[in-house]
């Protein structure tokens, strides 16, 4: 029995352009580092974050809400004390809230002897996503817990399909502007044209087929969004120019990561991914907007166990 554990909980890219709320993949970089300690009583303690002013009341904190949901499924005098060292900025569009919620329940499950399945952990962590955005969505949570690429076939009932992720390289730029998930959802159209829906279904099916067949050309052709991106891209300065320059540099394709403002691009090689990141940097340098870039790969593992401390 271990009384504390330290894990690395990865950033994630949700939607994968055409797969709004149903597709996502995990990253190797950036990751939050989280330490969870067992308590001998039924309560959840959230330690203050030294950088971000995040709520310490468990029910208002995404990780706390997820742990409270897990505790409802556990009997006996047990609780948790959580410290998060966040490296994924809230509001970045690369799964900051999901990393906190998913990392917390994966760590708790380790300390409790791995009694819950991955699907059950996703269900607990979705309570955290509801705190963050008002909606229980799993397209960031699932890849964070399962690793690789996941398809959320259904939320009610929850049905997650883990896909065999190709070994692709990922370039990400995070302009230092904030796009709140709730705001990015609020601007979306509630009704869409049938012709746009048909195009979108074809792209989602093509993207999943490309992933299953490791067909990079098909993946690239399918990374198109006719419904969400045209609306949300207005929130990201320089988006159209950035996308054009990245494709010209050899990226397979990409788009807005989650609700933004981060933008991701997939590439077949690290060399191309580095060139794509340079194009991303050039766009925001010209615009005078501070930014961070990452060149990483699809994380096949998800949350990574860093250390356990025995009682």
Boundaries of domain holding 189: 169-297
Active-site residue, from 6, 150, 181, 296: 181
* Residue 181 designated active-site: yes
Kindly report the CATH number assigned to the domain that includes residue 192.
3.30.70.890
- Give 241: exposed, middle or buried? Use CB within 10 Å, 0-12, 13-18, 19+: middle
Residues 157-180: pLDDT tens digits?
999 999 999 999 999 999 998 776
pLDDT tens column, 216-275: 999 999 999 999 899 889 889 999 999 999 999 999 999 999 989 999 999 999 999 999
The answer to whether the beta carbons of residues 59 and 72 sit under 8 Å apart is no
Residue at token pair 């096949």: 300
Q: Is residue 67 part of a domain?
A: yes
Total domains, the chain: 2
Q: What is the pLDDT of residue 311?
A: 47
Gap between the Cα atoms of 237 and 302, Å rounded: 31
Q: Give the Cα-Cα-Cα angle 137, 180, 241 (nearest 5 degrees).
A: 105
Of 279, 278, 280, 276, nearest in space to 266 by CA: 276
Confidence band, pLDDT 50/70/90 cuts, at residue 48: confident
Round to whole Å and give the CA distance between 27 and 294.
10
Are 95 and 51 members of one domain?
Answer: yes
Tell me whether residue 64 is in a domain: yes
Catalytic residue among 6, 12, 129, 229: 129
Specify whether 39 is located in the same domain as 93. Answer: yes
- The CATH number given to whatever domain includes residue 61 is 3.30.230.10
Asked whether the whole model's pTM tops 0.95, one would answer: no
In whole angstroms, give the CA distance from residue 220 to residue 239. 18
- The residues near 282 (Cβ < 8 Å, ≥ 6 apart) are 245
What pLDDT is stored for residue 137 in this prediction? 86
């Amino acid at each position: 029995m271990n009384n504390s554990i330290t894990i690395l909980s990865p950033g994630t890219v949700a939607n994968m352009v055409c797969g709004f709320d149903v597709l996502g993949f995990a990253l190797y970089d950036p990751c939050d580092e989280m330490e969870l300690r067992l308590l001998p009583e039924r309560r959840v303690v959230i330690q203050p974050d030294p950088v971000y002013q995040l709520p310490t009341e468990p029910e208002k904190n995404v990780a706390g809400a997820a742990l409270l949901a897990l505790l409802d499924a556990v009997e006996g005098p047990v609780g948790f004390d959580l410290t998060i060292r966040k490296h994924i900025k809230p509001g970045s569009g690369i799964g900051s809230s999901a990393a906190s919620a998913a990392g917390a329940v994966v760590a708790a499950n380790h300390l409790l002897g791995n009694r819950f399945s991955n699907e059950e952990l996703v269900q607990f962590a979705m309570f955290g996503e509801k705190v963050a955005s008002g909606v229980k969505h799993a397209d960031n949570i699932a890849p964070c817990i399962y690793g690789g690429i996941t398809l959320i076939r259904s939320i009610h009932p929850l049905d997650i399909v883990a896909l065999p992720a190709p070994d692709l390289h990922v370039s990400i730029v995070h302009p230092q502007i904030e796009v709140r998930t709730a705001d990015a959802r609020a601007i979306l159209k509630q009704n869409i044209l049938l012709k746009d829906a048909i195009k979108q279904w074809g792209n989602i099916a093509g993207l999943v087929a490309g992933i299953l067949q490791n067909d990079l050309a098909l993946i690239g052709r399918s990374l198109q969004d006719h419904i969400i991106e045209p609306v949300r891209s207005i929130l990201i300065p320089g988006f159209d120019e950035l996308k054009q320059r990245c494709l010209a540099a050899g990226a397979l394709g990409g788009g807005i990561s989650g609700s933004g403002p981060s933008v991701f691009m997939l590439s077949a090689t690290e060399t191309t991914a580095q060139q794509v990141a340079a194009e991303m940097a050039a766009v925001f340098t010209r615009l005078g907007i501070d930014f961070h870039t990452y060149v990483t790969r699809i994380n096949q593992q998800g949350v990574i166990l860093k250390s356990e401390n025995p009682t």
